[in-house]
Amino acid sequence: RTSPMQLERKRRGASLFYSILDDLIKFVSIVLCEGFASPRARMSCGHVVTPMSLTKWCKHLMEKVRGQFVCGQSGCDAVWTYEEVCKMALLTPEERKYFEETMAQNAAARNPNSKFCPGCMSPVTRGSSLNLYVHCKVCSAKTGRTFAFCWQCLREWKGKQPRSDRCENDDCHNSALKTLRECPEIQIQTEDGAKGCPSVRACPTCGSLIQHTGIGCENVSCPRCHMEFCFSCLKSTNECDAAMFCSGIAPRQKSIPVWHTESY
C-alpha cells in the first residue's frame, strides 16, 4: 500500500527531504506534518519550518497580494528571499511557475511600473514608459556585467536601446495589444439592436484587460483601479449615463492606456 509520504513524493516529483549534503541548511528535527514525517530546518531568521508548512504560508501571502515573503512567527518581521523560499520549501517546477506568475501579477497590481526581473526575481521599476530596456542592478552586481531585460517579453535584452516597440528576442510582442486585436466579438444590445463588440477591453484608466461575456450590464468596474466605464463606448459610466443613451460601440483599441497613479 502506498504511504502518504510516497504519494506526496510522487506528486512533487522529488524527495521531500532536504539534502544532507547541503551545508547551508541547518536541520532541526523530524516532526509529524499532515499525516507523515517531515523534516524541519531553520530559516535565515532563526525560525524553523517544514517544506509543506513553508509552501502553504507563502501561498497564503501570495493570495493576500503581499509583495514579500515575510516570516509568519509573531513579532518577527524578517523577509525571506525568493531563492531561500524555493530551496527551503522544496518547490516543484509547477509550484515555482505558480509563485512567479502570482508574484508578477501582484507586483503589477501594486505598481504598474514594477515587474520582477527574470534573472533574480527582484522587483524592478522601469525608468521610462517609452523604453522597454530595463537594467537590473542586483543581477549586474552578481554577474559582474550589465544585465538588462525586456519589459515586454521578460527575457534578457537583445539589440540596441532605447526602444519602445520590441527587443530583438524572437516573438517579442505586446501580448495585451495582440489580445485586443484578435479577441472574438460578443453581441451588445444597443439602441439600434444587437451589435458586435470586442470581448476584451483595456480599462480607459489603468490599461488592465477586462473580458465581457455579453451577458449582463454594459457598465463594468475595473478590479484594479475601480474605474466604472461602459464596455461599449469606453466612456466613464457617469459620462455615458449623462448622455441618456450610449453613443455606440467604440472600435478596437490600438494602444494600452497608462495609469498615472499619482493622480489617484
DSSP letter assigned to residue 256? P
Q: 95 or 8: which carries more pLDDT confidence?
A: 95
- pLDDT beyond 90 at 146: yes
Q: How far apart are CA 218 and CA 23, in angstroms?
A: 60
- Strand-pair partners of 40: 29
- The larger pLDDT score, comparing residue 126 to residue 25, is at 126
User: Confidence class of residue 66 from pLDDT cuts 50, 70 and 90?
Assistant: confident
d(CA 154, CA 4): 39
Total Cβ atoms within 10 A of residue 138:
15
The sign of the dihedral angle between the CA atoms of 31, 36, 40, 43 is: negative
Q: What is the 8-class DSSP label of residue 169?
A: S
Of 114, 88, 86, the residue nearest 100 (C-alpha): 86
Helices 93-110, 82-89: crossing angle, 10 deg rounding: 150
Residue 142: Cβ within 10 Å count: 12
Contact 249, 195 (CB under 8 A): yes
Q: Does the pLDDT at position 36 exceed 90?
A: no
Asked if the model's pLDDT at residue 13 lies above 60, the reply is no
Is this model's pTM higher than 0.75 or not?
no
Lowest mean pLDDT among 19-33, 63-77, 104-118, 177-191: 19-33
> Which residues fall within 8 angstroms of residue 42, CB to CB, at 6 or more apart?
26, 27, 28, 48
Could you tell me the residue ranges of all domains in the chain?
4-97, 111-173, 176-263
Q: How far apart are CA 101 and CA 97, in angstroms?
A: 6
Residue 101 to residue 119: CA distance in whole angstroms: 14
Q: What is the pLDDT of residue 108?
A: 65
- Three cell numbers, residue 229: 466605464
Cell numbers found for residue 146: 550589465
Mean residue pLDDT across the chain: 80
Pick the closest to residue 154 from 86, 107, 94, 92 (CA basis). Answer: 107
The residue to which cell 439592436 is assigned: 193
Residue 22 per-residue DSSP state:
-
